[in-house]
């Protein structure tokens, strides 16, 4: 009787851990990869701090965040892209592009192919 109960407990626990692993939401498990192409680096800031020190002024910014819903709104000359459930926000305006709610390891810079060859 005890062996049967332990066996059931182990099976239930294994199924529970498997479900948690399968339904986790990040870029590696079905989350979104957001591409912002041809971004001028002079106009990009992350958490309020400008990104500097890069060898080119134009890059493609890749955001690897957990998102299954994208909300886009516009007000006062600003376009806001909110990615849920991660809470990452991309705001574009005349002043430039700003990211909030994004960890540094979730941001990747890619140089356009025409600039790499030069």
d(CA 14, CA 7): 11
d(CA 64, CA 32): 6
Domain ranges of the chain: 26-116
Q: What is the pTM of this model?
A: 0.60
Q: What is the pLDDT of residue 117?
A: 46
Name the average pLDDT for the chain.
74
pLDDT: is 80 or 15 the higher one?
80
* pLDDT over 80 at 106, yes or no: yes
The CA distances from residue 47 to 9, 66, 70, 115, 117, in Å, are 46, 18, 20, 27, 32
* pLDDT over 50 at 69, yes or no: yes
Tens-digit pLDDT profile for residues 25-56: 454 555 667 888 777 766 666 777 766 666 66
Sign of the C-alpha dihedral computed for residues 15, 16, 18 and 23 taken in this order: positive
Tens-digit pLDDT profile for residues 81-100: 888 888 888 888 877 788 88
Those residues with Cβ within 8 angstroms of residue 112's Cβ, 6 or more apart along the chain or in another chain = 37, 38, 58, 59, 60
Q: How confident is the model at residue 14 (pLDDT cuts 50, 70, 90)?
A: confident
């Amino acid at each position: 009787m005890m062996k049967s109960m332990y066996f059931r407990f182990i099976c239930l626990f294994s199924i529970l851990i498997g479900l948690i692993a399968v339904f986790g939401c990040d870029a590696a498990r079905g989350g979104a990869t957001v591409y912002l192409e041809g971004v001028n680096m002079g106009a990009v800031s992350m958490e309020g701090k400008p990104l500097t020190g890069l060898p080119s002024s134009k890059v493609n910014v890749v955001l690897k965040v957990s998102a299954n819903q994208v909300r886009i709104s516009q007000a006062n000359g600003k376009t806001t892209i909110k990615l849920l459930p991660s809470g990452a926000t991309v705001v574009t305006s005349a002043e430039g592009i700003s990211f909030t709610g994004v960890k540094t390891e979730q941001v990747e810079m890619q140089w356009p192919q025409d600039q790499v060859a030069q």
